[in-house]
Each structure stands twice: as C-alpha cells, then as structure tokens.
Structure 1
Amino acid sequence: MLVLAAGLVAWDLVVRLNDLPPYVLPGPGLVFRTLVADHGILMNSLLTTLWTTFEGFVAAAIGGIALALLFNQSRWLEISLLPYAIVLQVTPVIAIAPLLLIYLPQQTAVIVCAWIVAFFPVLSNTTLGLNSVDRNLAGLFQLYGASRLQTLRYLKLPAALPHILGGLRIAGGLSLIGAVVAEIAAGSAGAGSGLAYRIAESGYRLNIPRMFAALLLLSAAGIVIYMLLALLSHLLLRRWHESALRKDT
C-alpha cells in the first residue's frame, strides 16, 4: 500500500510540475473522477468483457482437462493432436481474430479467441500432472488389479490436482487477455461493447482520462480473477498438499 501511495503521489507530481494537459497524461484524481462520472458506461462494458472472459475460461477448462485425460489414456492420441495444440498456442491471437470474425458470428468469434489463449496452459499443466504420478503408487495400484478408470480416479486425478489448479490460475488471466484482443479486433460499438472498445474509442476521441479509467478496471478485474482462482486452489489443497500446508504453518 505504501508503494502504491508513493506511485500515485509521484504520478500526480509529474502531471502538476510539468503542467501536462489531460490528453497527454491525466492525473490520478482526474482518472478517479472520470471513473465515477462514467461508471454507467464503463461498468456495462466491464460486465460484457467479464462475461466473455468467463465463457472462454469455462470452455478452456473443460476442453483442456478433457483432452488431457484422453492424452493420458492414449499415447497415440497425444502424439497425433498435441502438435496442433502447440501450433494453436504459438500463433498470435491477434492474427487469428480477423479470420474468426469472417467465419463465425461476432460474439462466438470473441469467445473462441478467449478460449484459444487460455486453452493450452490448462492442457499442458493437466497433462504434466497426470504423467507425474509416483511410479511406486502406480505399481501398487497395478499389483492390486485396479482398472484404468480406478487408477485415474483415485490416483492420477488427485495427484494432478495441484497442476490442474495452477493451469487454471494462468488461464484465468489469459482468457481476459484473449477477450480484450478479440474485442479490439471486432471493434463493434453499441450497448454490448466491452472495455476494449471503450479504450479504443477513448483513444480516437483523445478522452485519455476515460482510457485510463477503463485500463484501471481491466487491471482490477484481472487481479480479482487471479485471487478467486488462488482462493479456490487453497481451499481444495489446504488439508493435504504441501504447497498449501506451508502457507498455513
């Protein structure tokens, strides 16, 4: 909090001492007043962006975990499909978004962009967790004649849970990034416009205080998403996993 306060004071001093106009760099006080004055427009846009983020995140979580489970059960399936998942990950979403907007409805294309960005961390972390099971425990399950489904349910999934939750924490922030990039590419106006459009609109109109206010809301949304997923991870792991037990002691 002290560092934040010092940063705000330094920001305000730079603006005042250099007499910078608001269209160059607004002061923190003006940004806060703009956030209050334009809260109706900005909050509606924030809700639109958050809903897109949520849909992309849920799709990435379900798709990534389900595909990782299939990879774990079939080595050939992993060899066949993983390279294409990697290609999807390393291709910039800003380059894919215009194509998706041609072939898909606008809202669907925006959700797909959020899914593309968030999908791979869930897939890779879940796959890593499922493949990192202790060999001795796996041998014990095999010795007692456990089926593949029983081994997956009682050994591999619990062992992979910390990795899955780590992937979800990463995917939460990335889905927000994907939603913002897709909204910028879509560039649609109207009541359903997200925060990314408001930022672009503010830049075109040189309404820099509103741009800063929208950026502040996006940053706050990303922090809240990460904290909620971190809390979920802590609640699920606090009684048995070392990473959570260390925090409690």
Structure 2
Amino acid sequence: MRPTPLQAVAPPLAALVILLVLWEALARALSVPAYLLPPPSDVARAGAVNAATLLAGAVTTAKAALAGFFLSAAAGVLAAIALASSRPLERALYPYTVFLQTVPIVAIAPLLVLWCGPGLRAVAVSAFIVSVFPVIANTLAGLRSVEPALRDLFRLYGAGRFATLRKLELPSALPHLVTGLRIAAGLAVIGAIVGEFVAGFSEDAAGLGILVLSAYRQLRTDLLFAAVLLASGLGLALFGAVDLAGRRLLRRWHPSEINR
C-alpha cells in the first residue's frame, strides 16, 4: 500500500523540527557566539531581511546549474551510446570520462574563466564537468546490461544497429539513465556553486556561491547559513523534479517504481 503524501513527508518534517529545536536550545544554553553557530532564529531572520538578494542569487545559480545539467544529460547519453558501440573505443576513451569525475574542479576553475570568461558560461561548464560522469557511467551500464537472448532475437529478425538501439538498448538502459540523472541533478548545483567561487558574476547578478563568500568575509554566519540552506534547497528541488519525472516514466513497467 502506497503511503499518502502526508505520511511520506511527516517523518522527515518531524526530524527537521526536532533538529531545529535542539539546535536553537543548545545555541542559547551554551551561549555559542553567533559568528560560530547562529541559532536557527537568527538564520531565519537573516534570510527574511536579505530575501530579495538571496532569491536573485538562487535564480542566477539555478540558471547555471540547469544549463550544466541539461548539457551533461545530452552529452552523457551520446557519449555512452558511442562507447557502447565499440569495446575498443570504450577501452580507449572511458578512462578519460573517469578523469572528469576525479579532476578537482576548484583547481581548473581558473582555466574555465580564461577559456569561457567570467559569468554564466564558465559556471555552467563547471556544473557540466561535475555532473556528466554519472550520466555516462549509468547509461553505459544500462546499455551493456541488455540480455544476450534479446540481442540474439533482434539479430535473428534482421534488426539493424539503429533499430536495436532505439527499441531494445535505450529502453533497457532507461532505469540506469534515470539513476544517473538523479545523481547529476545534485552534482550540477554543487558544480555551479564551486564554479561561482572562482568564475563569479558581476555584483548585480551574484549567485549563491558569491553570496556565501561575501557572508564569510563579513563574518555574517547567519547569512552564510541562509545561503547554504537555499543552495541545498535548490539541489533538492532539481533532484525532486528529476525523480518525479523518472517515476512517472518508469512506474507503469519497471519493478523498481511500480510499488513506490
């Protein structure tokens, strides 16, 4: 039996309320300096006072994260299809896709500024680099996991390479692809924030990463927490949108989603 929406959200909401109450009580009781750990009430107050700035920053970061995410989805699927088409090609190029996952984005972010210029393009490329590998790896695993008997059946009936890809391999890989996109959704926001630390924006279009740095330099820990929480909410929203789309796409035929 599927839980109702209220039953689904009640446990995490209850845990959040308990955490906030404990945080507030301990911060007050122990007299923790506000610049070290502000109580939730101070964070909420800073968020309300700076709501317009935070909202503008969230919109700026969301644009870069979405651009990087959609670019990683498209490029990741195409790369996985190319790698799955040839074992020698996979052995030659797959290690370089792993490089995208292991490269320290903070170290190469200055290069992105030199190549793309400061602003949206550099930050979007940063989000792309961070989020593309899960799409490639999961899609490739899905394409490789097709049952050999089904491949033989398609070959027996004379199906061409494109027909096999469209009617057998891609549908079989779809659950893996959705998993990769779910992971990439959160990573895209992380990549955008890290990219903003270096690439930055003009002051009238500062993203959440710039707001975090600005609040840190001013010892505005309450505002820093508010910006970080908003960035986390942005990542959760993107993940939730991808998860919802994936569930709607798979729930009628794939076992992993039928009973959710």
Give the alignment's TM-score, normalised by structure 1. Answer: 0.95
- Tell me the C-alpha RMSD between the 2 structures: 1.2
Within 5 Å, give how 1:60-79 maps onto structure 2: 60-79=72-91
Matched, 1:166 2:179: yes
Matched, 1:56 2:52: no
Match of residue 14 from structure 1: 26
Within 5 Å, give how 1:96-245 maps onto structure 2: 96-107=108-119, 108-245=121-258
Q: 1:43 aligns with which of 36, 55, 61?
A: 55
Letter in 2 for 1:103: W
Output one character per residue of 1:74-102: Cα deviation in whole Å (capped at 9) or x when no partner.
33322222121112221111111112212
SS at match of 2:42: helix
Match of residue 33 from structure 1: 45
Q: Is this contact kept in 1: 2:43–2:225, CA < 8 A?
A: yes
SS at match of 1:198: helix
Letter in 2 for 1:113: S
Q: Is this contact kept in 2: 1:56–1:114, CA < 8 A?
A: yes
Output one character per residue of 1:105-158: Cα deviation in whole Å (capped at 9) or x when no partner.
123221111100101100011111001001111111111111111111110010
Q: Report the number of matched residues.
A: 247
Structure 2: how far apart are the matches of 1:90 and 1:195?
A: 24
Deviation at 1:188, TM superposition (A): 4.3
Letter in 2 for 1:159: S
Within 5 Å, give how 1:77-96 maps onto structure 2: 77-96=89-108
Output one character per residue of 1:151-205: Cα deviation in whole Å (capped at 9) or x when no partner.
1111001000000110000000001110011101224450111001101100101
**Structure 1 unaligned runs (5+)?**
none
Letter in 2 for 1:8: L
Structure 2: how far apart are the matches of 1:148 and 1:23?
A: 61
SS at match of 1:191: helix
Structure 1: how far apart are the matches of 2:138 and 2:36?
A: 43
Q: Is this contact kept in 2: 1:189–1:197, CA < 8 A?
A: no
Matched, 1:246 2:259: yes
Q: Is this contact kept in 2: 1:121–1:167, CA < 8 A?
A: yes
Match of residue 4 from structure 2: none
Structure 2: how far apart are the matches of 1:86 and 1:20?
A: 43
Structure 2: how far apart are the matches of 1:74 and 1:88?
A: 21
SS at match of 1:22: coil
Give the alignment's TM-score, normalised by structure 2. Answer: 0.92
Q: Is this contact kept in 2: 1:60–1:122, CA < 8 A?
A: yes
Deviation at 1:54, TM superposition (A): 0.2
Structure 2: how far apart are the matches of 1:188 and 1:18?
A: 39
